[in-house]
Structure 1
Amino acid sequence: MMKTAFLTAFCLAGAAAPAMGAALSKDAEVDIYNIARCAVAKDHDAAAATVRRLPLTGDEATVEPAWLGNGAGCVKSAALAGPAVVLRGALAQALYFRDFKEFGVRPRMAPALLADMGLPPVNDGVDTSKPDVALARFGDCLARNVPEDTDKLLQSPVDSPLERSAIARIQPYFAGCYPKNARFNASRSTLRGLLALSAYSASTRYWRGEIVANGTR
């Protein structure tokens, strides 16, 4: 167990506040998560590669069924559409629960075989004026400081009282993980997607020996 190893606070000094996409309807979001779970079950590696193909933004994006390899049949329409960070996060959440039992628990496979989420570097000194870097730093800070509530959020049904309760417990950490006077405009759905990506990435880095108890090597 290494949950306490992630209790490291830092700020994103100087980062610009990136805009995030508008909230999805609940039905559309649930559909995305169901398709992602199906796709990961059918073709883990293709799903992980699809995560890396999408940008880390709230802009609308599409996933071509062919990108999902053997999971292509999980998409019943011409393409899967939604905010890019939600599409990435839905796949990341499904990969997370397939590859890890929960945050801080040894993965089900050798660390070298864990998926790459394709996030920008989050170590000290990165250029947080870039919106995708600022988002990655924000998500990493939250996932590492409140791992148990991040886990509860990801385990909760989409747009449910349990999800809202988990977000409420995470919210006090926003100020410490994002610069003062910055406006972080994130919908509930984009925050969930970002935390799914960050939870998988932070867990992977820990088990590969890239993170130690007092921060990042």
Structure 2
Amino acid sequence: MATLNRIAAYAAICTAVVASVPLVAQDTLPSREAEKDLAEYADCVVGRKAYRKSVAAFLRVVPNSGPFFPASMKAADMTCLNDAAVRRRASKLEMRLQPSTFRGALYPALYRRDFGKIGPPADLTSAAPIDVTTEFDGDVMTLSEEYGSGRAFGDCVARKAPQDSHLMLTSRPWSASEEAAIEKLKPALASCLFADQTARFNREALRAYLGEATYKLALAAAGRTAKEAR
């Protein structure tokens, strides 16, 4: 109940303003390259029709629950992973492909697949409030506080700045386009934090928060469900 209350509180009180939003203080060049590869890998996976049901099933599993890892393995396309490793001439992408990291990369990829060219629906900002009880097959009471706050934060930012969120999600990680998107997003990022809240997150986390929220809001605004989007 605490996590659900936290999600509701973040979604309702997202107009508080803080002085600044610290972003990406310690990212290194190797991690940047891995993030680029991971985005390409996720794009490959969601583009494979044979894996759409497995991806959808994985995304409905409560993060870090018992079925989470097995579901992630069913959704992971080894052909796409091997192709990405070959491009990198290394196996570092495999080392980074933890279930939570994989999940975080899938939502931006799904958004690019379904809304990358057409952009967010016009009424994205008026979509219904978050209801995580409909988003998972499992005990939502076990969702972590971290997930709850991140989910609500991403939802708030996506509603306040749908076009800038679109720009970030459709930009290649660490590109000039993503840099421009983050600059445009900073007012929304700041206004979606409580006045006494401090937050430090890197771009990978921001993409994950924003990708899940924007994709789900876009589906809702378009009158579709994740099941229909397979």
Q: Which moved more, 1:46-55 or 1:79-88?
A: 79-88
Mapping for residues 5-44 of structure 1, pairs under 5 Å? 10-11=13-14, 23=27, 25-42=31-48, 43-44=51-52
Runs of 5+ in structure 2 lacking a partner? 1-10, 17-23, 83-90, 124-133, 138-143, 226-230
Tell me the equivalent position of 1:49: 57
Distance of 2:135 and 2:119 partners within structure 1? 17
- Residue 156 to residue 209, structure 1, CA distance change in 2 (3 Å): closer
CA drift at 1:207: 2.9
Distance of 2:166 and 2:12 partners within structure 1? 18
- Residue 117 to residue 23, structure 1, CA distance change in 2 (3 Å): farther
CA drift at 1:10: 4.4
Tell me the equivalent position of 1:73: 79
Structure (1 or 2) with the greater helix fraction:
2
**Cα pair 1:149 1:166 within 8 Å, conserved:** yes
CA drift at 1:72: 3.5
Bigger relative contact order (CA 8 A; separation at least 6): 2
Distance of 1:75 and 1:65 partners within structure 2? 13
Number of residues paired by the alignment?
Answer: 176
Runs of 5+ in structure 1 lacking a partner? 1-7, 14-19, 107-115, 120-128, 211-217
Aligned residues: CA RMSD: 3.9
Give deviations 1:157-206, integer Å, cap 9, x for gaps: 11112111111111112232111121111101211121111111111222
Aligned residues with identical type, % of pairs: 28
CA drift at 1:142: 0.3
Considering only CA atoms, is the larger Rg found in Structure 1 or Structure 2?
2
Distance of 2:72 and 2:112 partners within structure 1? 22
CA drift at 1:80: 5.9
CA drift at 1:156: 1.2
Question: Pick from 119, 142, 158: which aligns with 1:102?
Answer: 119
Q: Give TM-score scaled by structure 1 length.
A: 0.65
Distance of 2:194 and 2:204 partners within structure 1? 22
Q: Give TM-score scaled by structure 2 length.
A: 0.62
Distance of 1:93 and 1:9 partners within structure 2? 24
**Cα pair 1:139 1:198 within 8 Å, conserved:** yes
Give deviations 1:31-56, integer Å, cap 9, x for gaps: 11111111111122222333344738
Structure (1 or 2) with the greater strand fraction:
1
CA drift at 1:208: 3.4
